[in-house]
Amino acid sequence: MGGAVSAGEDNDELIDNLKEAQYIRTELVEQAFRAIDRADYYLEEFKENAYKDLAWKHGNIHLSAPCIYSEVMEALDLQPGLSFLNLGSGTGYLSSMVGLILGPFGVNHGVELHPDVIEYAKQKLDFFIRTSDSFDKFDFCEPSFVPGNCLELSPDCSQYDRVYCGAGVQKEHEDYMKSLLKVGGILVMPLEEKLTKITRTGPSAWETKKILAVSFAPLVQPRRSESGKSRLVQLPPLAVRSLQDLARIAIRGAIKKVIHQEAVSRNGDGLKATPRFKRRRVRRRRMETIVFLDKEVFASRISNPSEDNSCEGLGEEQREEDEQSPAEMKPEPPVNFLREKVLSLPLPDPLKYYLLYYRDKVL
C-alpha cells in the first residue's frame, strides 16, 4: 500500500514530500530517512520505483511504503540507548534507520522468517557500513538478525523498550505481543487493519491509539516440527562492549566535537546544515494503490493528511529554476570530515583504520 505522496526523483525529494504531507514530523526521523537511501535496499532492476510511495515485493523480499515507515518511526518515539525488537525485520531498512537513532549503547534485534531475506539484509547492512558517509555522521547501533517465527520466541527472552511487527497481527496474538514490552515501552503493529500504537503504562495497564488504516499480509502461523515441538527462537544476548570498543566510541565522539567546534568558529553556527540545491515544488495528490502480496490482493486508498490543491506560483518558481545556471543546480559533493580528521592524526595506519571500522573510502 502507499501512494499518499508524490514520487521523488531521489531519496531527498521523497523525504521532502513526506515532510510536506506531515508523515515525517520530527528532526530525528527526518535525519534517519535522509541518511539511508531507500534505493539501496532494492534489487538493481527495480530501483526505478524506489522513490515512489509504494510497497515493493519480490519473492520473499518486501519493503513497506515510505509513508508507512514514516508513521512507524514517528510512533515509536525512538531515543538513544533504547532497546528495539523488529518482528519481521525483512531487508533491514527500518532496523538500520532505527539504529542511527539508538546510538552505540542501544539494542537492535530483528527476527525474520525467511533465511534468504536475512542473508539479503546482512548484505545490505554490510554495504551501508562499508560505503556510506552517514555511518560516520551518526553513532550507529548495528542490528542483529536471527531466523525464525516471531510467534515462537523463547519464553526467557528479554523485554524491549520498543517493538514493531511488520505483519498483520491477529487479535488472539495481541497479548503475546504486549508481553514483549517493558513498562513504559511502545509497541507498533498492524492490528485489525489498523496501524496501532500501544504504550505499556504499568504492569497491567495499556494505552492504545489507532494511527492509520493499513493492509498487511497476516503473520505466518508456527509449524510444528516432526517431534511435535515448536522451534523456539533464541534472541541475541545483551552483549557487553569491550574496553577497546568503548575507547573507539569515545575517541570518535571526541573528534566529532572538535569538528563541530571548528564549524562553529568557521560559520558562527555549527548547526546549519549544508544547503541542498533548490527543488521543484511538488503537489500532493490522492492516489489509489493496489498491492499484490503472494496470491492475495489488497486495494487501499489513503488520503493525504492535508490537501493542497493550489498551483499558484508554480509557473513562476519553474521559470526561476530554469534560469539558474547548471553550476547553481549541482549539489556540492559531501565531505566526510570525520574520516579526513582521523586519517590526518599522527597514529599508526592500523589504528586509524580501526577507528574507521575498516570502512572503504567512498568515491
CB–CB of 168/190 below 8 Å? yes
Residue 87 phi/psi, 5-degree rounding, is -95, 115
- Burial level of 340, CB count in 10 A (0-12/13-18/19+)? exposed
CA distance 121 to 99: 14
Beta strand 160-165 pairing with 83-87? parallel
CA distance 8 to 279: 10
Among residues 64, 95, 134, 300, which one is catalytic?
64
CA distance 352 to 340: 11
CB–CB of 180/195 below 8 Å? no
64 part of the active site: yes
Q: How far is CA 246 from CA 27, 148, 240, in A?
A: 27, 31, 10
Q: What's the grid cell of residue 334?
A: 559531501
Any idea which residues carry the catalytic annotation?
64
